[in-house]
Amino acid sequence: MALKVYDTLRGRKEEFAPVTSGTAGIYFCGMTVQDKPHIGHMLAFVAGDMIRRYLLFKGFKVTYVQNFTDIDDKIIAKANEEGVDYRTIAERNMKEYFTYAEELNIMRADVYPLATEHIGDIVALIRTLEEKGFAYAVGGDVYYRVRNFSRYGRLSKRNVDELVSGARIDVGEAKEDPLDFTLWKAAKEGEPAWESPWGMGRPGWHIECSAMSMKYLGTTIDMHGGGQDLVFPHHENEIAQSEAATGKQFIRYWMHNGLLNLRGEKMSKSTGHFFAIEDIVKEFSGEVVRFYLLSTHFRSSTEFSRERLREAEAGLERIRNVCVWIDERLESPRGAQNAAVSPESSRLIAFTDEAVAAFLDAMDDDFNSGEAVGHVFRLVRELNRIRAEGNGAEVPSFEAFEKARGAFETFDRILGLFKGGLPKAGREIPPEVSALVAEREAARKAKDWKRADELRGRVAALGFVIEDRPAGPLVKPAR
RNA sequence: GGCGGCAUAGCCAAGUGGUAAGGCGACGGUCUGCAAAACCGUUACUCACCGGUUCGAAUCCGGUUGCCGCCUCCA
């Protein structure tokens, strides 16, 4: 099945056809680093990461660019508030981003362009727009002439004439039309500023993304992603700027993730109504947070909930347990001795193939990770069933278990479930823990349950849990 | 007011023409010294409501109700 991608502009799923066959250029709108990242941001970046991983899995040569907008009014305001340079604020929040991106197993982008490091490209783009009649300078400001771009409003399904009522002219602005937006903003006294043909100033919001995306990915880019709240005006303006300058289609597929709400209200930096990822990661592992975010299709908006996180934690633990069991089977010499052609084996191999195929079909359908996760769980249950019932001759073969492990490797590679690769059987148990476990086994043989429970308590205090299996105790790190 | 989207079990959630994935939870059972993990069974005769198209609709069309987002900074 071919990969289908929902494009916001066309409003429907389309078969993915990149500019150059076999390669995919993706630009993902990163943060304006005015504040620390919240869980809603992370949803967007996890979604982008999952899309990228899937394209890599499909064999595409992917170039992934995620910007930071490191200069804007809010950053300046924050810097003034704290009495520091704007860079201090920007750098601090970028560092925060990287810390939690790593927690959530988000791959590093190929390029992380900063607005302030691309002033030359931005100025050049504005000059082009000026020459083509799409931009005009008034004093030290430069504006985009929206009504000159006939396709304006197509992405966000808005009619230019109906937009006028919402638009407004701020005090001190000298726009020709209320719809026009700022490309370059003259600096006030004491503000960070760069040289330009229009005097000292800084780029407006929107233009940096046009300049940087085209610089790294070309004039026509395969995919551009971001939150649904960026559709208007940010992405609408990006199209206007880029296509007016180049005369070419800017983006082939617009991908917008749904927003994460909190108590029925969108999380927002400006109102302080949000959960910083920093606080959530104190309660749940980054892997759990990621799994939670991927359990729903990225395009639907959802409600942030600790209860859902707890459910995700339980579910991920199930997957982890089965991976550990597969590893145990493959590591045990007994596992290798089973006949390759038992009915159990062929059944498991067929089931695994079917589950992987269904998983990939779901991913091909607009990266439907929610459905894909369902297929992961189907295989989990099948394996657990074998584990519960299977003993003796009907245990599947080494090859069948290898097949199962391969399936989970595929799931992990695409969804990024586990930071250090697939969970393995506990082979790295500290000697003091093993000693306690052995002591407890002796107590259990002697039916000294009190002593056994006490020893289990001591093992727990060291951060490990014991599961008494028919074949002996399994020790694993507590989660 | 304009534009867009969504309504599926106790909760979350997949499903765009062929008769309801999956997870969490709950209840009953199995295993177990206990626990943990796990398995089996039960948990939507039905997909907000009303019409229509069709041999057949949760899925398409029209209408109604409710919720949400955007229209201002925002992933």
Residue A268: beta bridge partners? A273
Q: Which of A275, A303, A331 is the last residue of a domain?
A: A303
Give the mean pLDDT of A110-120.
Answer: 97
Structure tokens at A245: 């300058």
The residue ranking higher by pLDDT, A164 or A424, is A424
Predicted local distance difference test score (pLDDT) of residue A331: 83
The residue whose CA lies nearest the C1' of nucleotide B73 is: A270
Question: Is residue A472 very low, low, confident or very high in pLDDT (cuts 50, 70, 90)?
Answer: confident
The residue ranking higher by pLDDT, A57 or A393, is A57
**Dist CA A124 CA A104 (whole Å):** 37
**Dist CA A28 CA A97 (whole Å):** 14
SS3 content of chain A, % helix, strand, coil (to 5): 50, 15, 35
A295 and A325, same structural domain?
A: no
Question: Is residue A341 very low, low, confident or very high in pLDDT (cuts 50, 70, 90)?
Answer: low
* CATH number assigned to the domain comprising residue A266: 3.40.50.620
Residue A4 CA and nucleotide B50 C1' are separated, in Å, by 35
Give the mean pLDDT of A344-370.
Answer: 92
Structure tokens at A436: 């306690």
The residue whose CA lies nearest the C1' of nucleotide B40 is: A385
Would you state the torsion angle of the CA atoms of residues A296, A300, A303, A305, taken in this order, to the nearest 10 degrees?
Answer: 10
Please report whether residue A423 resides in a domain. Answer: no
Q: Which of A415, A440, A462 is the last residue of a domain?
A: A415
A318 and A190, same structural domain?
A: no
Straight-line distance from the first to the last Cα atom of chain A, in angstroms, rounded to the nearest whole number:
38
The per-residue pLDDT for range A404-440, each reduced to its tens digit, is 999 999 999 999 999 989 998 876 788 888 888 989 9
A193 and A110, same structural domain?
A: yes
A278 and A344, same structural domain?
A: no
The per-residue pLDDT for range A290-339, each reduced to its tens digit, is 999 999 999 988 888 888 999 999 999 999 999 999 998 888 765 455 55
The residue whose CA lies nearest the C1' of nucleotide B74 is: A268
Is the pLDDT reported for residue A393 higher than 60?
A: no
Residue A291 CA and nucleotide B43 C1' are separated, in Å, by 26
CA distances (Å), A263 to each of A203, A267, A274, A278, in order?
35, 9, 10, 19
Q: Are A209 and A245 in contact (CB under 8 A)?
A: no
The residue ranking higher by pLDDT, A331 or A257, is A257
Predicted local distance difference test score (pLDDT) of residue A264: 54
Identify the H or E element spanning A61: strand A61-66
The residue whose CA lies nearest the C1' of nucleotide B35 is: A467
Q: Which residue range is the domain that position A446 belongs to?
A: 431-477
**Per-position DSSP letters for A173-214, written without gaps between them:** ---SSTT-EEEEEEPPTTS--B--TT-SEEEPTTHHHHHHHH
A398 and A438, same structural domain?
A: no
The per-residue pLDDT for range A185-194, each reduced to its tens digit, is 999 999 999 9
Please report whether residue A424 resides in a domain. Answer: no
A154 and A108, same structural domain?
A: yes
pTM listed for this prediction: 0.94
Nearest Cα to A149, choosing from A59, A67, A243? A243
Predicted local distance difference test score (pLDDT) of residue A338: 57
Please report whether residue A469 resides in a domain. Answer: yes
Residue A255: strand, helix, or coil: strand
Predicted local distance difference test score (pLDDT) of residue A394: 65
Structure tokens at A296: 């729903």
Structure tokens at A264: 């029925």
Residue A153 CA and nucleotide B46 C1' are separated, in Å, by 41
Please report whether residue A146 resides in a domain. Answer: yes
Report DSSP state, residue A146: G
Residue A302 contacts by C-beta under 8 Å, 6 or more apart in sequence? Answer: A258, A260, A261, A296
Structure tokens at A339: 């006949």
For chain A, the domain total comes to: 3
A161 and A106, same structural domain?
A: yes
The residue whose CA lies nearest the C1' of nucleotide B25 is: A311
Is the pLDDT reported for residue A471 higher than 90?
A: no
Question: Is residue A468 very low, low, confident or very high in pLDDT (cuts 50, 70, 90)?
Answer: confident
Q: What is the mean pLDDT of chain A?
A: 90
Identify the H or E element spanning A82: helix A73-82
Predicted local distance difference test score (pLDDT) of residue A191: 94
Question: Is residue A61 very low, low, confident or very high in pLDDT (cuts 50, 70, 90)?
Answer: very high
Residue A253 CA and nucleotide B52 C1' are separated, in Å, by 35
Closest nt to residue A303, judged CA to C1': B12
In this prediction the ipTM stands at 0.93
Predicted local distance difference test score (pLDDT) of residue A396: 84
Give the mean pLDDT of A235-246.
Answer: 96
A179 and A252, same structural domain?
A: yes
Give the mean pLDDT of A107-123.
Answer: 97
A472: left (phi > 0), else alpha (psi -120 to 50), else beta? Answer: left
Question: Is residue A340 very low, low, confident or very high in pLDDT (cuts 50, 70, 90)?
Answer: low
Residue A332 CA and nucleotide B7 C1' are separated, in Å, by 51
**Rounded (5°) CA angle A134-A138-A139:** 145
Is the pLDDT reported for residue A215 higher than 60?
A: yes
Please report whether residue A426 resides in a domain. Answer: no
Nucleotides of B under 7 A from a protein CB: 1-6, 11-16, 21-25, 31-40, 67-75
A259 and A151, same structural domain?
A: yes
Largest CA distance in chain A: 91
A102 and A213, same structural domain?
A: yes
* CATH number assigned to the domain comprising residue A350: 1.20.120.640
Predicted local distance difference test score (pLDDT) of residue A474: 82
Please report whether residue A408 resides in a domain. Answer: yes
Nearest Cα to A16, choosing from A293, A363, A354, A295? A363
Q: Please report, as a single letter, which amino acid is at residue A321.
A: N
A169 and A115, same structural domain?
A: yes
Burial class (CB in 10 A: 0-12, 13-18, 19+), A166: exposed
Residue A391 CA and nucleotide B17 C1' are separated, in Å, by 45
Predicted local distance difference test score (pLDDT) of residue A167: 63
Among A2-6, A313-317, A370-374, the range scoring the smallest mean pLDDT is: A2-6
A101 and A21, same structural domain?
A: yes
Burial class (CB in 10 A: 0-12, 13-18, 19+), A142: buried
φ, ψ of residue A51 to 5 degrees: the values are: -60, -45
Q: Which of A384, A415, A446 is the last residue of a domain?
A: A415
Give the mean pLDDT of A36-48.
Answer: 93
Closest nt to residue A304, judged CA to C1': B12
Residue A13: strand, helix, or coil: strand
Q: With pLDDT > 70 as the criterion, what percentage of chain A qualifies?
A: 92
